[in-house]
Structure 1
């Protein structure tokens, strides 16, 4: 029982006792006797009043204490209410209290600031008016959900206000407060601006998309080499799908075996935080690839190593192109050197060959032994000339007269030669496609290309085997040209010479086209076969590729530009004719060459003037220009080059007949590089018949009677 009840009962008891005394005092005098005399009643009344006052005092004190306690409780409640109000008002997120219809009754400072209005402005406004037009239907669905479920969590809703520049995405949480009767009462709303979070999410989404778009392989592995992340680029490069790679040990699926370079890379990234270099890795299908790899050490919140981020770029194709380019540059350098040697060699061989042919004509009574020695000299000089010609074919493609060549006819001819001369243990097959088109080139040189290739195949089949030559037509597109040096967009005839012989080891594969490089025994090869192949094919606008595996065999692919023109008829050779006393000016800085040409021409009824250089040639021509029918001069001379000499002669006499000589250039190349027009060209070294026929081709019209 409470103190308030005790107080009320005590007062009621005192009233009852006083009423009893009052009744007794109002009775008749006859009843007032003994103890009920007025004096006694008065005493008793005074005693009752005294007791009641004491009880009232005690109870009053208790009531005062209770009031003090109630007042303290009230202050505490007020403080708590103020604390709640402060928390409500100063919370960093927007708080709203609405009625069941969504009309705002309370709003904190954050809500007013987010909506860019005064706090008082919100009171009485429907929350609905601050929802973006495009999402008001969603707001209605949220209200229905609140009525049915009593709360919502993490809903996104776009907030705006038509009176100001307010427009932001918000995350919305709400709670429905119901009356004791179960009716929907107030709604409590919490909303926050998630613009920054959405921007971060968008940025992360874009970064994730970039990780998948990039062609680089990007993956993360822990310090135990277990793969934690694997992007699309890694799928494309290595062939392992994401679900296959995650959780795998990187070293087990990306390396054939642990290499010292791999161990060094791990030590470096742990010590210095990063590493980059090249690694040899394998794909899912077992193919080996070369990777440019960058590793970055990832740290945890405590700054301790956590994982390694790897970014890998497949540079296999780039490395192959670099090797091809390096090989091409090396061949060009060797070609320049070989070309200079060939020029001097031709000047040496020219008089040797010519003298060996002239001596039997000048001395027909020579004994048989001397004639045999001269034939041997002529044969050896010719071999030397062929060797120089191979060098020139390698260096500059030494062009002869180009005609239309039918590839099927060329290969069939090679096949017949192989069948007649190769061991019977070698089985040769040909596969010639249809509609091949033709090749614009020198049939003799192309014949040499494929003879060199089949001879190499024969040597690789020392114990017998299969040799196959196939011909097909293909179109090379721009994408193919990016990864193949020498290739251009267009139609090509591809001739493949394949064998199942010993193969070529990777260590020497890049050297096989170098001049004078050979793996054959001394005396069994010059090392010029494949370099000649490369030079001739290159001069025809084509390129060569090779693939080989030790113990399996080799395949050489020769690509030559295709043309649709029909083959021309073969032109008969011009017979050797003697002169009719025409005067020819011979200009060369090599005295042996001028002398032997002079002797040859004089034997065949020509008159000759010699000059050692361009200046002497101009002097002689000025003196005898009315008599000189032809000027035969070398293109490479000191003091005044052949080009300047020709141009000066043509100024003196535009009708001058000129035949150039060179141990390097061709007539076509001479015309392209110098732009001069000449009537004939003679390549050193030359035979007597070549010299005389070339002279007759120019002088024949003017030598008629």
Structure 2
């Protein structure tokens, strides 16, 4: 080390003269500077000690003199004392404070300033003057001194003051503050500095003259390097503006060249970083970077926009500010363990924005490693999939209901066929049994139980949205008025009913009894949600949806709708319950008090009426069901007339083609119709019916065709027969009842009427 220093020194100072001269100048400068510092410092300390001694003396004297004034709280006397104090030299301000630190009387001090609790403690505990130095901002030079002296009293007081301090027979009853100007010290400092300069300058001039030659050689390239550093610091990496060609191959020259090489490297890297930063800022995905501890270091504009936070609000914070409380602790422990193991983490994460909204994000987090393999950062990329997840949930809910509905429809179809066989057989038995037969009552019991079974099947079909509805023009207000009457007469008097039914709303097409059940079910649910009473609101109106005017469903087409809203102020529901309320057998009621089918039936009936239903609820606030039913476009009078005409068709015919895939129903139909005097042809599917009609069509007066059959369904068979003979009298039957296909067949006059399964012999003959 000594050899290196010697070489550098010899290189800088090649002659002995320069070496000695330089060393001499350095020693002189150091000696003069040190001496000047010591003299100035000691002089200032001495002056400061004198100034404080005088202030302490004044403070003690006036604190003794002010005992009576403070004890008696005589503000006038205290003001006189302060007035005398402030006349003293170098006193900027003075004040009396009580033991709570509040100003009692002030001169030259802001009366709103209150003493700190720690300062009061020191004054009371030590019973001595407490002082502090206040410096000029951004400097070590004192601006003024604050002296705090306790004003004590020999008066006897109760023990346990504010700090319960034991101070013998004296007790601090107030505090005297003196604000002493430090300007005299600054003047003394300046005088000593001038005196020091007067001595030092001759020595420094001599040293400067000797050192000029050396300094020029060293400082010029260093100055150039300094200018380059400043330009780089200001953001300039232009080699043409900051390049400093070395004039020699010494250390300074090599340093200059290496510095220029460093600038070029930095410029290349900055360009790459700039490109990457622009790409990250332009990304539609949310991107953020944390340090190894998980603290935010960067977030792109997509992230700040979606989360609602600014960069400043995020930097240095931990990601837990986005915690939605939707995930358990094990979820986050697993996440961090994966990252700490140096592996990428992928998954869906629920986060809370600044506004409190919950968003679901598809998230990937990747550890960033340094050259040694240590983790230095974590890079996260997120994509907001909230809307996608909501659509998926709605689609899943619809699919579940559709699946259950399809299952219910299939079961009901099979049951209707079974019940059809039973009711048909019962009809034949009753026709052939003599009046007064003892067994007739048992046959009646079978028939009654069959009807009960048919009613249950009809409810099941209603859930499948294929129920048998008496299609008519329905005045919704009249249905709601009936509901209002029931609520008024039967509900708990603690439930207040409010309603607003808009006049002259359009009619809807549907079954009034089914819609009555919908509204009654919702009203009863509202009642059950308000066991302690509340308010039930019923409202109707007409709305027009144009594009996005009505926030109901993306599948709800534009048009005119009758709007019904039933709202309660009951216990409400959480999000999870709302997502499941239309599921069959789901109920929040106690065992034995609910089947879980009510709202499922409501959903099925509304969908069967081509309507829409939504629910909104907040726990503890209440629930609101909104129903939208399409306004009736026109009465299908021609179709109704065709149905009425078809009712009389069977009375005029003699030959019937009966088509059904159930052998029992075919045989019963043959017996029933033949017993009524008709000639009957039977077919087991649509294909066989078409072939039979092709051969026997001239003698067939009417055909009764089941809709759901293997090989060829009834709808297809009806269309083919209608093309063969547009005047053919065709009736259709189904366990699903009048669905859209049947309505279209009726509307297009392909068929003349419809018979609902299960039917009796009388129904078949009358049909």
Task: Indicate whether the TM-score tops 0.5.
Answer: yes
Q: 1:580 to 1:255 in 2, by over 3 A?
A: closer
Aligned counterpart, 2:525: 456
Aligned counterpart, 2:481: 412
Name the stretch that deviates more: 382-391 or 559-568. 559-568
Q: Indicate if the aligned counterparts of 1:583 and 1:606 stay in contact, CA closer than 8 A.
A: no
Confirm whether residue 231 of structure 1 aligns to residue 303 of structure 2.
no
Q: Indicate if the aligned counterparts of 1:390 and 1:528 stay in contact, CA closer than 8 A.
A: no
CA distance in 2, matches of 1:336, 1:291: 34
Confirm whether residue 245 of structure 1 aligns to residue 324 of structure 2.
no
Q: 2:680 aligns with which of 593, 596, 609?
A: 609
Name the stretch that deviates more: 270-279 or 559-568. 559-568
Q: Indicate if the aligned counterparts of 2:674 and 2:680 stay in contact, CA closer than 8 A.
A: no
Aligned counterpart, 2:705: 633
Once superposed, what is the RMSD of the aligned Cα atoms? 5.1
Q: What is the CA-CA distance between 1:505 and the residue it aligns to?
A: 5.6
Q: How does 1:167-566 map to 2 (within 5 A)?
A: 172=241, 208=277, 211-212=280-281, 214-256=283-325, 259-300=329-370, 303-353=373-423, 365-366=435-436, 377-398=446-467, 400=469, 402=471, 404-432=473-501, 439-471=508-540, 484=553, 486-489=555-558, 492-504=561-573, 509-518=578-587, 526-562=595-631
The unaligned stretches of length 5 or more in structure 1 are: 1-80, 82-86, 96-151, 159-167, 176-190, 696-705
Q: Indicate if the aligned counterparts of 2:653 and 2:701 stay in contact, CA closer than 8 A.
A: no
Q: 1:584 aligns with which of 652, 656, 671?
A: 656
CA distance in 2, matches of 1:243, 1:274: 27
Confirm whether residue 659 of structure 1 aligns to residue 731 of structure 2.
yes
SS in 2 for 1:172: helix
> How many equivalent pairs are there?
522
Q: 1:587 to 1:361 in 2, by over 3 A?
A: same
SS in 2 for 1:284: coil
Q: 1:352 to 1:661 in 2, by over 3 A?
A: same
CA distance in 2, matches of 1:571, 1:640: 27
CA distance in 1, matches of 2:482, 2:283: 52
Name the stretch that deviates more: 377-386 or 618-627. 618-627
Give CA-to-partner distance per residue, 1:293-352, whole Å, 9 cap, x none. 221223456653223222233333322222222222222222332222111111122344
Aligned counterpart, 2:20: none
Give CA-to-partner distance per residue, 1:401-458, whole Å, 9 cap, x none. 6555444444334323333444444333334467865545444443343333333333
Q: 1:490 to 1:216 in 2, by over 3 A?
A: farther
Name the stretch that deviates more: 286-295 or 337-346. 286-295
Q: Indicate if the aligned counterparts of 1:468 and 1:497 stay in contact, CA closer than 8 A.
A: yes
Q: 1:265 to 1:423 in 2, by over 3 A?
A: same
Confirm whether residue 681 of structure 1 aligns to residue 754 of structure 2.
yes
SS in 1 for 2:758: coil
CA distance in 2, matches of 1:379, 1:524: 27
Q: Indicate if the aligned counterparts of 1:254 and 1:281 stay in contact, CA closer than 8 A.
A: yes
Q: 1:472 to 1:654 in 2, by over 3 A?
A: closer
Aligned counterpart, 1:642: 714
The unaligned stretches of length 5 or more in structure 2 are: 1-216, 245-259
Q: Indicate if the aligned counterparts of 1:511 and 1:517 stay in contact, CA closer than 8 A.
A: yes
Aligned counterpart, 1:33: none
Q: 1:285 to 1:229 in 2, by over 3 A?
A: same
CA distance in 2, matches of 1:596, 1:440: 35
Q: Indicate if the aligned counterparts of 1:452 and 1:529 stay in contact, CA closer than 8 A.
A: yes
Please identify the structure whose Cα radius of gyration is greater: 1
Q: Indicate if the aligned counterparts of 1:467 and 1:500 stay in contact, CA closer than 8 A.
A: yes
With normalisation by structure 2, the TM-score equals 0.56
Give CA-to-partner distance per residue, 1:100-127, whole Å, 9 cap, x none. xxxxxxxxxxxxxxxxxxxxxxxxxxxx
Q: What is the CA-CA distance between 1:659 and the residue it aligns to?
A: 0.6
SS in 1 for 2:360: strand
CA distance in 1, matches of 2:591, 2:440: 31
CA distance in 2, matches of 1:323, 1:154: 56
Q: 1:519 to 1:344 in 2, by over 3 A?
A: farther
Give CA-to-partner distance per residue, 1:1-20, whole Å, 9 cap, x none. xxxxxxxxxxxxxxxxxxxx
Q: 1:526 to 1:349 in 2, by over 3 A?
A: farther
CA distance in 2, matches of 1:652, 1:349: 33
Q: What is the CA-CA distance between 1:561 and the residue it aligns to?
A: 3.9
Q: What is the CA-CA distance between 1:284 and the residue it aligns to?
A: 2.9
CA distance in 2, matches of 1:348, 1:598: 17
With normalisation by structure 1, the TM-score equals 0.60
CA distance in 2, matches of 1:439, 1:225: 60
SS in 2 for 1:228: strand
Q: Indicate if the aligned counterparts of 2:409 and 2:466 stay in contact, CA closer than 8 A.
A: no
Q: What is the CA-CA distance between 1:498 and the residue it aligns to?
A: 2.8
Name the stretch that deviates more: 506-515 or 353-362. 353-362
